[in-house]
A and B are shown apart, each in its own frame.
Chain A
Amino acid sequence: MAEITILKEANEIGLAVMLSDLIRQNLDQAPEKIKLFSSLDAKVLIEARDIQITVGLEFKQERLTVSEGFSVKPDLHIIADSTTILDLCLLKIKFGLPYFFDGAGFKVLKKLLARELIIKGLLRHFPTLVKLTKIFSVIRD
């Protein structure tokens, strides 16, 4: 059973609650993702710049702690508007990787190229990003 905790300070942040519910429900519906979740060891910062909300996700020792952010540099820093953050959850996974050659994938790719979606740490922590995308993805095969 994956353990997900929202720190008190983040309890009133809708995005924090949504992301933790999304991950929890995704793991319930696709138990094969639990192994991926357990193997993650990373700090991820998600910033919805249109609504000026930042949420920190710390994956460590089979646990996820959701907070308002970190005082140290995260491994991945995802910056986008709120709708784009949800678009990331619509990415299909093919051959173990995010698939960019359908409608949802192409939309995300276009935003990445236009810098409407910024992922700091993308190259350095690519395997972490792939795992994270798989955990977030709501697209079932």
Chain B
Amino acid sequence: MPYKFPSEDWIKEYQKAINTSEDYKQSGATWTAGSVCLVVTANPSVGIEKDVGIWLGLHKGVCEEIKLVPLEEAQKAPFVIMGDYSRWKQVVLGELDPVQGMMQGKLKLKGDLPTIVRYVRASQDLVQCASKVDTQFMDE
């Protein structure tokens, strides 16, 4: 059954995918730098009226918490990756590597770069988990 992206159901499936990923368990095993928030910017044409954040409470290779949050809360995360709906759609479909997306300016990153660089593999594995969720996109 496909889950609408982004939605409460989708993020629950995403959390399951992260916590069953052997790759992420390994690449994120030493991550203690705090939460990461993926922000999908508002796009009324696909039904996203306000910026919405997917808050990932990550710790040592486990996603302990996942929730949808408004922008104000999202910005409190130590790491925030922001992009519009079409970019996240490409990411979820595995068409856009998050590192390439950040380097191209398609995704904007806020947070400690040296830490992100040390965990490039983990960020790629996290995204790989998103592509495992059976997803229904709001513009389809």
Does A138 reach chain B (CB closer than 8 Å)?
A: yes
Given A12-B105, A14-B106, are A25 and B100 also a contact pair (CB < 8 Å)? no
Majority secondary structure of chain A interface residues (helix, strand, loop or mixed): helix
**With A and B bound together, what is the CA distance between A12 and B108 in angstroms?**
10
Pick out which of these stretches binds chain B: A60-68, A81-89, A108-116, A125-133. Answer: A81-89
Complex interface bits, A90-104 against B, C-beta within 8 A gives 1, otherwise 0: 100000000000000
B105 touches A22 (CB 8 A): no
Which residues of B does A touch, CB under 8 Å? 97, 99-109, 112-115, 117-118, 120
Residues of A contacting B97 in the complex (Cβ-Cβ under 8 angstroms): 82-83
Majority secondary structure of chain B interface residues (helix, strand, loop or mixed): helix
Q: Could you list some 16 contacts between A and B, CB below 8 A?
A: A14-B101, A14-B102, A14-B103, A14-B108, A15-B104, A17-B105, A18-B113, A26-B114, A51-B104, A82-B99, A83-B97, A89-B114, A90-B118, A138-B114, A138-B117, A139-B118
Residues of B contacting A18 in the complex (Cβ-Cβ under 8 angstroms): 102-103, 109, 113
Which residues of A does B touch, CB under 8 Å? 12-15, 17-18, 21-22, 25-26, 29, 48, 50-51, 53, 82-83, 86, 89-90, 138-139
**With A and B bound together, what is the CA distance between A25 and B112 in angstroms?**
7
A86 touches B105 (CB 8 A): no
* Nearest-neighbor residue (CB-CB) of B113 within chain A: A22
B100 touches A86 (CB 8 A): no
B117 touches A82 (CB 8 A): no
